[in-house]
Amino acid sequence: MAVITYRDALNQAIREEMRLDPSVFLMGEEVGVYQGAYKVSRGLLDEFGPMRVVDTPITELGFAGVGVGAAMVGLRPIVEFMTWNFALLAIDQVVNTAAKMRYMSGGQISVPAVFRGPGGSALQLAAQHSQAFESWYAHIPGLKVVMPATPADAKGLLKSAIRDEDPVVFIEGEMLYNTKGEVPEGEYLTPIGVADVKRAGTDVTLICHSKTVSVALKAAEQLAADGIDAEVVDLRTIRPLDHETVLASVSKTHRAVVVEEGWSFAGVGAQVVDVIQREIFDELDSPVLRVTGADVPMPYNKHLEKASKADPPKVIAAVKRVMYLES
């Protein structure tokens, strides 16, 4: 398999789907001539032309609405937000129209649209541009929420999202675009709603997604040096949530730590903990702990920013608590 970057895996997925299906098109700010703010759409304008790679004005609400309308009449738009922070301006179209149209039309109208772009924090982008909103969108019936952590999953999940008949919120890790990994060439689909065990273990389960997968894997490596064997479960999809994989892992290890980038209150981890304690409470040897971003707007100062993020030392400390090695 070829080793390519996360951004090139996304580009490959879009290119392949546009070649396969003429109803697929890409739209958003600077996706054409500039080739994307993060170069995900590099080369697509030259191959497919301005009718299928559409540069839009800086009007998130407007072009999101155009995308929803296009999906309602049979096209498959890929709507790129330069960042999910900017998508706050388009949330009415995503939440009130795309998510509800199938229900409100009695199943007559579907909205096969993908809303995609980078989410979460990067480096010193400060409070307004460092927000993890996946729990917001996962709260909404009618939306699927997908967050790949690796180049292979980025390709496989994006292809599945483009083919899905329902609207998909596809949040890419802003710090992941340059990461590399093996990616199958050609037809390769990763099913939506299926988690992945990124590392097998027996002592504790680390449940994570997107950028926190690398955090959990680094923590697992360090824990191994202390004789603690951690299993790492990458959710990949926030909604629908793969209960089966999570419960099977925790039933095996009997301990769990949930790691996420977002704020703690009403976060994704809270939903995961609810599933675990409701379904397999008697399997737990200790309470499930969460490692989250700090409950503050993201600081600009790089030292405070680092302190605000989930990192391996925080995960290791939580693991030692659930194993009763530290108080």
Return the active site residues.
60, 129
Beta-bridged to residue 256, according to DSSP, are 205
Q: Which amino acid is at 261?
A: E
Q: Retrieve residue 293's tokens.
A: 């971003």
Closest CA to 78 of 152, 170, 155: 170
Is the backbone peptide bond immediately before 148 cis, with ω within 30 degrees of 0?
A: no
Closest CA to 73 of 112, 105, 104, 20: 112
Q: Retrieve residue 53's tokens.
A: 């790679």
Give me the residue label for tokens 């603690």: 228
Say how far apart CA 161 and CA 71 lie, in whole Å. Answer: 13
Question: Cβ neighbours of residue 56 under 8 Å, at least 6 residues apart?
Answer: 27, 28, 29, 31, 62, 63, 66
Say how far apart CA 29 and CA 37 lie, in whole Å. Answer: 8
Provide the 10 A C-beta neighbour count for residue 192: 22
Give me the residue label for tokens 């693991």: 319
Closest CA to 203 of 84, 322, 56, 73: 322
8 Å CB contact between 305 and 121: yes
8 Å CB contact between 162 and 113: no
Q: Retrieve residue 63's tokens.
A: 């072009």
- The terminus-to-terminus CA distance of the chain in angstroms comes to 45
Question: Cβ neighbours of residue 49 under 8 Å, at least 6 residues apart?
Answer: none
